[in-house]
Each structure stands twice: as structure tokens, then as C-alpha cells.
């Protein structure tokens, strides 16, 4: 290839999407793309202290595009594409920049394994094959040029690599997280520069709003000042707020916030975050990479995300803008074909899909445990894109008792590294604080959080508003009998262990009192649940005080703001029983403790695995401690210590995610990190109309079918009209024709069967699932 040949990274299209010729002057020079990505990746990596490696990754990731075959393909799409990422990976490996090698090799198809080949060619094999010429010629005929030849063209194009000094790897788990962070900087920079080239108007309109912590705190403080001040409950909420503001003066690090339900944790913890950021940043000049940048609120269920995001929008959007808050549930967008090295990542559908992936650049992000932790251990570009924006953030983990014990070593170790190495302040919040210290022997890192609340036990005593009534050892309750007890009073909540139980009991209650029966489960899309909750809250309001009987799965327990005078709870894990109690007499309207009645269903159905084991442990624990103060934090700690000893890993290596990460087997670690125990798939609901009478699910599905594309905003909206199915349910629905794909190449499915206004999705056998 002669010097007169111009090297390009991308072709170009006009406003209508029609391809433009090389002579249009709109094709992107390769040197420009590499320099842009390197500069942006290094800038994104500044808060992480990873600038040199991020810049190196940006310069090397598309080194293979200097190959004659790649340049020929840009000019003639009929020519088969080449693997253009192996060259940069090979040179990075030669420099012993292994995190850069992983990032370069995986920037289109996902981080590979170092040695295992179950999910595609491992990095070591790719590097060796390229260096030996086998990948370049004998096996595929791809990229006949050597790395030296490609680097010559790279240098002649006016580029140079930064000086890199390799360091010995002493902590493989920390190194794996470091590789994911560098990968995140690379893929986000690559996505953004690609967007700037193909869609410059959209890129120019993409602004990243500032956090403005002082202004946000003033808005929050004004809202808090309008809260009622009279009564013991409100006095204790003010005490918790004062504790949070005092703790905000501390240095960034690891904290716990233990407080009963109804104590105002959501807004008090946000006050801590904003004041903590203001105090910390006041000591640093503008633009300093150590400044804290955003607040991330991590919540177990979408039911709480909707509630929390709504509260935050009411506080901030009117003043700070609609882009201030990002609500991120599930990934409703195309996925990369992980492990498939034949995928052509330059094709427009995949390129457009990547630009719809979230990167968490908003000042206030509200997301789920699944999104946060599964992304943290993912190997996919669209999932990992956001990770660098976790650095220098305050992360508020709500209802942490829901984290799975089998993954404690990997999840807690990752959080500890975020606080130690990436400037994160993490707060673990709940009414039932788990005994994480009891699993510290299984952690390779210290775990010594600072307690924010100054009087956990006193707060629990003062906010005790219920009495928990436990069943006798041999008693059981049939559903018809329970339904009669539920309708005996005008307002009551009943929480059961499975969706099947909730549906069966709801039908019995509705038959007895049809005008005041409600059902909530994850078989209903988020917007549907919110409409039901709005009506439930209206009925429970003292001014209305109308009959309301709610049958729910456990999704009601984690932070959903409802207040019933009576509650029933099927025997389950102790923390779930306590959380149900938090939905009873929440505001302390009744001066006497209200009843929370625990019962044993005659027909026992439990989700398998940890939930069933925790239920058995609860029964055994309560039999030994029949008079235990169930509202005391010390009781929870004792229970969780026994539970983790029963079902938690004894050492970090027993956690598959931890072990696979230390093996640098990124695809397998991603597959093993399933917080709900089984992979779920989002399905867009079609056939349900919202309050405005619109079937938004159908409208979104039809738009995708028609245009083969959704914008990032449309993907976000689709989250709110989607239901997650477990893999077995998904495959069953697929086989039965209940779901369909509106567009090829999109991992996007639409529910096309019965959807009930009370129960949500029909046809599914949900006997095993909690939500």
C-alpha cells in the first residue's frame, strides 16, 4: 500500500442515510478517529487515575484498520470485513499492557477470556495467532500485514504511542476491575466519537448537565422544611437527617445507614450525598479530577425506582432540567453478539444501537441492583460503557438486605475497591442491616464502614409502630380462610411468597369484595403498577379513607411508600417479614402498635434456592428466640450472621464470579453474575392502555418494526412498559407464540397475548418466582 493512500476509520452518510462517496470529504480519517478516541478516553479516565492506559487503548483499538483489506472494504462493501481489533491487542500484549489488550480485543464483541475458549477465541490465543501470522494469513487470510507494518502506517499518519511502564499484577481481582474500567473509557469514547461523526447534530445537542450540589441541596432542604414537624415520628426523622448531615463532613469512603422504614432514609441519604459532595469539592479547584461528580441510587426492584425517581423529579426537574435525572431499569436495546468474532460491528444497525446505550453521565442516576452489579461484572461494551462514571460518585445502595449471599465476596469486594481505588463514597442502607462483618473472613479486603445513625437501637424502639404476631409451630392457614380474614377489615395488606399465590389469593378476595381488591406483582409493567399504587395511596389517604385490600408479592416490601392499618405476611425470610411491617402504620397514625400477622400457608410454595433456605432459617431462628425484639438491629445482625454461615461462601474463591474474575475469564464471570439466580429477558407489553388511553407498548413496537431503530429516549420509555421474564418463561412464551420480535437484529421482544388489567401478563406458570 503506497503512501498516497488515505486511511479512514468510517465512511459517511447524508441526512437521509444514503452513503456518501470518498470524494465527499465527509469520511472520517483514521488518524483523526484514533486521536479523538484517545484524548476522550484519557479525559474520561482522569478521575480513575488511568489516563495513560486509556490513551493507549484509544490509539491501539483500531490499529487493524490500517490494513489494506479494511481500507478496501470501506470503498467496496462487497469485500468481506476483517478482524481489525487483534492487531492493537497483540501490540498491547507485547507491551505487557494487558488491560489495554483486553480492551482493544473486546471493544466490539466484548472482553474475552485470557485462556478459556468457551465464549470465543481467548485473548492469549488471539495474540499468539496474530503475532505468529496464523490469524493474518494461514487460517483466514485476514490482515496479511504485521503489527510493525501497521505501526509504520500509524506513525506516518502523524500518531505516536505514549510511554507505558508495565507493573507487576499482585491483585488479580482488582486488576480485572481495572481492566473493565479502562474498557469502559475506551468504548464510551469510541461510541461518542462515532456519534459525533455520523450524527453531528445529535452529538452537539448532547450536553452533560452539572450536578450543582449546593443548588440541589437547597431545593431538597426547602422541601424538607415543608414536612410536618409535629409528633414523635417527625422528630425522629429530623434526628436521622441531622445524623446524615454530620456524617457528610467525613472523608469519602464506606458508610452504613441503619434506620427503620418510614424514618425518611430516602431524602436524608440524598441530603448526605449532596452535602458530602459540596464539602469534599469545596477543598478542590474547579476541574480537579478528584471532585465528586454524581449521585447514583441503587435499588433492588423497579417498583421502588419508579417511586424514588418520581420524588426526585418533583424536587429537581423544574429548576435543574429534565436531563438531571436518569432512570435506568433494564437494557431495552440491541446487544452485541458476544463471543461471535464474525460479527461486523461497523454495520449501521449495531452502530446506532450502541449509541442508545446508557453511559450514566447524568448528575443523578436511579438504577437497580441488577443494572449496577451485573454491569460491573459484564464484558459487553454497551453494559460496560457506563462504568467509568461510577468513579468519584456517591453511591446509595438501598435495601441492601436483598443482595444474594452466594455473591457476597464479589459484590462487596467490588464496592470496597470502588471506595479504595476510584474515589467512590458508598452507603449501605436498610432497616434490616445485614451482618456483612460476619462474611469479612471471605473478603480479601477490609470491611470497616462508618455508621451514620448515632442511635440505631433507640431509633428502632421509638419508631416501633407494629406488633408482629407469629404463628404457632403447627398452625397452617388455607387461602379461603385467609381471604375472609383479609376482607374482615376495610384496609389490609397481604404479602405472599410467589406470584401464583398472589394471583390465587387475589381472586378469592375479589370474589368476596370486588370493589376494593388490588394485586401487585412484577407481571405488571412499571407504568401499570404505578397507576395501581396511585389509586391504592388515594384510598389509604386519611381524607379519603376508602376500602383497600392489597395482595402483593415481595416487591411491595423494599421501600414502597404505602401505609396500611393491618398487614398479613406469609412465613418467609425474617428481613421480608420486617419489611412488610414497614408498610403497616408507617406514619404512626395509630398510637397503638398495629398487627402484622405472620401465617403458614397450608399449600407451601417457595422460590427455590436462597429464599427457601432463608425461610427455613427464619422458622428455626424464631423457634429458638420466640421473644426476640424483631425490630432491633441486633436481632437482624444475629439472624444474618447465622444465615450467611449457612448459605454464604466460606472464602472468596467459592464465589464463582470472584474466582472467574481472578482468572480473567470475563465472559464466564459475566454469565455467573446473576443477582436473581436466573437470567431475565425484558418483554415490551402490547395491549395495555395507560390513563391517557394510549397503548404505548404497541406504538413503540410498531415504530421499531417500521424504522428498525429506537432512540435512547424511546429505549428508556420502553423500560416503563416492559416486564422481565425468567429464561424458562421466556422460552416457553416464545414456543407458544406469546412474544415476537418486531425487528431482526434487535434483542427486543414484544408480548402479544393476554394482559389483564388486574394481574398483568397471562398464560405464564409462575409457581417458582418471587416477584
**Cβ-proximal residues to 465 (8 Å cutoff; 6+ apart), any chain:** 233, 262, 584, 585, 586, 588, 590, 593, 594
Tell me the C-alpha distance between 375 and 714, whole Å.
Answer: 21
Q: Grid coordinates standing for 649? A: 461462601
Q: 288: pLDDT confidence band, cut at 50, 70 and 90?
A: very high
Q: What is the pLDDT of residue 134?
A: 56
* pLDDT class of 338 with cuts at 50, 70, 90: very low
List all residues 6 or more positions away from 475 whose beta carbon is below 8 Å from its beta carbon: 599, 600
Q: What are phi and psi of 393, to 5 degrees?
A: -120, 165
pLDDT attached to residue 138: 40
Q: Is the pLDDT of residue 451 over 70?
A: yes
pLDDT tens figures, 162-204:
999 999 999 999 999 999 999 999 999 999 999 889 888 776 6
Beta carbons within 8 Å of 586's beta carbon, 6+ residues apart: 261, 262, 465, 561, 562, 563
β-pair partners for 396: 297, 427
The residue ranges of DSSP E strands in 431-553, in sequence order, are 450-451, 466-469, 491-495, 517-520, 548-552
All three cell numbers of 221: 432542604
pLDDT for residue 747: 76
> What confidence tens digit (pLDDT) does each residue in 21-58 have?
988 999 999 999 999 999 999 999 999 999 999 999 99
**Are residues 561 and 498 in contact, defined by beta-carbon separation less than 8 angstroms?**
no
Strands (E) located in 576-670: 594-599
Q: What is the pLDDT of residue 588?
A: 82
How distant is the alpha carbon of residue 86 from its chain centre?
30
**366, 267 Cβ separation under 8 angstroms:** no
Q: How far apart are CA 103 and CA 90, in angstroms?
A: 11
Given a contact cutoff of 8 angstroms between Cβ atoms, the answer to whether 460 and 260 are in contact is yes
CB atoms within 10 A of CB 202: 13
Distance CA 334, CA 264 (A): 38
Contact 395/268 with Cβ under 8 angstroms? Answer: no
> What's the rounded Cα separation, in Å, for the pair 460 and 236?
10
- Burial class from Cβ neighbours inside 10 Å (0-12, 13-18, 19+) for residue 157 reads middle
Question: What pLDDT does residue 204 have?
Answer: 61
Cα–Cα dist 719/527, whole Å: 9
Distance CA 625, CA 155 (A): 73
The residue behind cell 446524615 is: 244
Distance set, CA 233 to CA 246, 564, 586, 629 (Å): 20, 16, 9, 20
If pLDDT is split at 50, 70 and 90, which confidence band does 337 have? very low
CA distance 259 to 234: 14
Residues 590-636: tens digit of each pLDDT: 888 999 999 999 988 988 788 899 999 999 999 998 888 888 888 88
pLDDT band at 497 (very low <50, low <70, confident <90, very high): very high
Confidence of residue 342 (pLDDT cuts 50, 70, 90): very low
Q: Any idea which of 389-398, 479-488, 742-751 has the lowest mean pLDDT?
A: 742-751
CA-wise closest residue to 59 among 197, 208, 193: 193
What is the Cα–Cα distance from 246 to 427, expressed in whole angstroms?
14
pLDDT of 565 strictly over 60: yes
* pTM (two decimals): 0.87
Q: What size, in residues, is the chain? A: 771
pLDDT single digits (tens) 94-114: 999 999 999 999 998 899 999
What mean pLDDT do residues 493-513 have?
96
Q: What are phi and psi of 480, to 5 degrees?
A: -60, -40
Distances in Å between the alpha carbon of 503 and those of 507, 523, 771? 6, 10, 12
Mean pLDDT value of segment 70-88? 86
Which parts of 113-251 are beta strand (E)? none
DSSP 516-548: GEEEE-TTS-HHHHHHHHHHHHHHHSTTT---E
For residue 364, give the DSSP letter: E
Distances (CA, A) of 183 to 111, 188, 276, 422, 657: 8, 8, 29, 15, 18
Contact present, 60 and 187 (Cβ < 8 Å) = no
Tell me the β-bridge partners of 652: none
pLDDT, the chain, mean: 88
How far is 9 from 17, CA to CA, in rounded Å? Answer: 18
Instruction: Show the beta-strand stretches assigned E in 242-373.
Output: 254-258, 294-299, 325-328, 364-368
pLDDT, position 140: 44
Which comes out higher in pLDDT, residue 294 or 558? Answer: 294
With the CA atoms of 20, 21, 23 and 29 taken in that order, what torsion angle do they form, in degrees rounded to the nearest 10? 80
Report helix, strand or coil for 339. Answer: coil
Which band of pLDDT confidence, cut at 50, 70 and 90, is reported for residue 142? low
pLDDT at 770: 34
Summarize the confidence of residues 688-707 as an average pLDDT: 91
Q: How far apart are CA 379 and CA 512, in angstroms?
A: 51
Residue 674: strand, helix, or coil = coil
Cell of 765: 406458570
The answer to whether residue 767 scores a pLDDT higher than 70 is no
CB atoms within 10 A of CB 245: 19
**CA atoms in the 13 A half-sphere facing the CB of 10:** 21
Which is more confidently placed, 232 or 287? 287
Residue showing cell 452533560: 208
Which of the residue ranges 160-164, 206-210, 325-329, 371-375 would you say has the lowest mean pLDDT?
206-210
Question: Which residues have C-beta within 8 Å of that of residue 650, sequence separation ≥ 6?
Answer: 441, 442
Chain segment 344-399, per-residue pLDDT in tens: 445 554 555 555 567 899 999 999 998 999 999 999 998 999 999 999 999 999 98
- In this predicted structure, what is the pLDDT of residue 641? 87
Residue in 391, 394, 418, 381 with CA at minimum distance from that of residue 192? 381
What pLDDT is recorded for position 126? Answer: 82
Smallest CA-to-CA distance from 583 within 599, 560, 551 is with 560
Rounded Cα–Cα distance for residues 184 and 162 (Å): 20
| CA separation, residue 558 to residues 133, 308, 312, 562, 682 (Å) | 56, 12, 18, 11, 21
Residue 445, CA distances (Å) to 411, 421, 441 in order: 12, 12, 9
Amino acid at each position: 500500500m503506497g503512501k498516497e493512500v488515505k486511511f479512514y476509520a468510517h465512511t459517511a452518510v447524508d441526512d437521509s442515510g444514503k452513503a456518501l462517496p470518498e470524494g465527499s470529504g465527509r469520511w472520517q480519517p483514521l488518524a483523526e478517529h484514533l486521536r479523538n478516541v484517545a484524548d476522550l478516553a484519557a479525559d474520561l479516565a482522569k478521575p480513575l487515575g488511568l489516563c495513560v492506559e486509556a490513551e493507549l487503548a484509544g490509539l491501539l483499538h483500531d490499529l487493524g484498520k490500517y490494513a489494506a483489506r479494511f481500507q478496501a472494504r470501506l470503498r467496496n462493501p462487497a469485500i468481506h470485513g476483517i478482524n481489525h481489533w487483534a492487531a492493537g491487542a497483540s501490540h498491547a500484549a507485547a507491551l505487557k499492557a494487558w488491560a489495554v489488550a483486553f480492551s482493544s480485543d473486546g471493544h466490539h464483541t466484548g472482553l474475552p477470556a485470557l485462556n478459556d475458549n468457551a465464549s470465543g477465541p481467548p485473548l492469549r490465543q488471539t495474540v499468539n495467532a496474530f503475532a505468529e501470522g496464523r490469524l493474518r494469513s494461514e487460517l483466514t487470510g485476514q490482515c496479511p500485514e504485521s503489527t510493525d507494518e501497521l505501526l509504520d502506517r500509524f506513525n506516518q499518519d502523524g500518531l505516536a504511542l505514549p510511554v507505558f511502564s508495565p507493573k507487576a499484577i499482585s491483585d488479580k481481582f482488582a486488576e480485572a476491575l481495572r481492566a473493565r474500567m479502562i474498557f469502559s473509557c475506551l468504548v464510551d469514547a469510541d461510541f461518542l466519537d462515532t456519534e459525533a461523526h455520523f450524527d453531528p447534530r445529535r452529538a452537539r445537542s448532547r450536553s452533560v448537565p452539572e450536578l450543582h450540589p449546593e443548588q440541589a441541596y437547597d431545593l431538597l432542604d426547602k422541601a424538607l422544611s415543608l414536612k410536618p414537624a409535629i409528633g414523635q415520628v417527625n422528630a425522629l426523622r429530623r434526628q436521622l437527617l441531622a445524623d446524615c448531615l454530620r456524617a457528610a463532613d467525613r472523608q469519602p469512603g464506606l458508610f452504613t445507614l441503619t434506620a427503620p422504614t418510614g424514618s425518611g432514609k430516602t431524602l436524608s441519604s440524598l441530603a448526605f450525598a449532596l452535602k458530602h459532595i459540596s464539602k469534599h469539592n469545596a477543598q478542590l479547584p474547579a476541574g480537579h479530577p478528584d471532585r465528586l461528580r454524581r449521585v447514583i441510587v441503587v435499588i433492588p426492584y423497579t417498583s421502588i425506582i419508579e417511586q424514588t425517581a418520581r420524588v426526585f423529579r418533583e424536587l429537581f426537574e423544574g429548576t435543574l432540567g429534565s436531563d438531571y435525572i436518569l432512570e435506568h431499569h433494564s437494557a431495552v436495546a440491541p446487544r452485541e453478539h458476544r463471543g461471535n468474532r464474525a460479527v461486523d460491528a461497523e454495520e449501521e444497525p449495531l452502530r446506532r444501537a450502541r449509541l442508545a446505550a446508557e453511559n450514566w453521565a447524568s448528575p443523578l442516576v436511579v438504577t437497580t441492583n441488577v443494572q449496577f452489579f451485573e454491569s460491573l461484572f459484564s464484558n459487553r461494551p454497551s453494559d460496560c460503557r457506563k462504568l467509568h462514571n461510577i468513579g468519584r460518585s456517591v453511591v446509595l445502595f438501598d435495601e441492601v438486605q436483598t443482595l444474594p449471599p452466594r455473591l457476597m465476596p464479589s459484590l462487596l469486594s467490588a464496592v470496597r475497591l470502588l471506595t479504595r481505588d476510584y474515589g467512590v463514597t458508598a452507603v449501605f442502607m436498610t432497616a434490616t442491616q445485614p451482618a456483612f462483618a460476619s462474611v469479612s473472613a471471605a473478603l480479601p479486603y477490609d470491611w470497616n464502614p462508618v455508621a451514620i445513625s448515632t442511635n440505631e437501637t433507640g431509633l428502632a424502639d421509638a419508631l416501633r409502630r407494629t406488633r408482629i404476631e407469629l404463628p404457632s409451630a403447627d398452625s397452617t392457614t388455607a387461602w379461603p380462610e385467609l381471604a375472609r380474614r383479609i376482607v374482615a377489615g376495610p384496609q389490609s395488606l397481604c404479602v405472599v411468597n410467589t406470584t401464583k399465590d398472589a394471583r390465587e389469593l387475589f381472586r378469592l378476595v375479589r370474589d368476596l369484595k370486588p370493589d376494593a381488591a388490588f394485586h401487585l406483582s412484577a407481571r405488571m409493567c412499571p407504568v401499570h403498577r404505578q397507576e395501581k399504587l396511585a389509586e391504592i395511596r388515594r384510598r389509604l389517604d386519611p381524607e379519603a379513607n376508602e376500602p383497600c385490600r392489597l395482595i402483593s408479592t415481595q416487591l411491595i416490601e423494599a421501600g414502597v411508600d404505602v401505609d396500611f392499618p393491618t398487614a398479613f405476611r406469609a412465613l418467609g425470610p425474617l428481613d421480608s417479614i420486617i419489611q412488610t411491617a414497614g408498610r403497616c402504620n408507617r406514619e404512626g397514625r395509630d398510637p397503638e402498635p398495629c398487627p402484622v400477622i405472620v401465617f403458614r400457608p397450608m399449600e407451601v410454595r417457595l422460590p427455590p434456592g436462597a429464599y427457601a433456605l432463608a425461610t427455613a432459617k427464619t422458622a428455626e431462628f424464631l423457634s429458638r428466640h420466640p421473644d426476640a425484639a424483631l425490630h432491633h438491629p441486633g436481632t437482624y445482625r444475629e439472624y444474618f450472621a447465622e444465615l450467611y454461615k449457612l448459605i454464604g461462601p466460606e472464602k472468596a474463591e467459592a464465589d464463582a464470579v470472584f474466582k472467574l474474575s481472578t482468572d480473567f475469564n470475563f465472559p464466564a464471570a459475566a454469565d455467573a453474575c446473576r443477582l436473581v439466580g436466573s437470567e431475565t429477558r425484558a418483554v415490551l407489553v402490547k395491549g395495555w392502555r395507560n390513563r391517557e388511553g394510549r397503548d404505548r407498548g404497541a406504538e413503540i413496537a410498531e415504530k421499531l418494526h417500521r424504522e428498525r431503530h429506537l432512540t435512547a429516549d424511546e429505549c428508556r420509555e420502553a423500560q416503563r412498559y416492559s416486564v422481565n421474564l425468567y429464561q424458562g418463561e421466556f422460552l416457553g412464551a416464545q414456543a407458544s407464540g406469546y412474544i415476537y420480535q418486531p425487528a431482526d437484529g434487535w434483542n427486543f421482544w414484544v408480548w402479544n397475548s393476554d394482559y389483564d388489567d388486574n394481574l398483568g401478563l397471562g398464560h405464564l406458570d409462575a409457581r417458582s418466582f418471587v416477584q
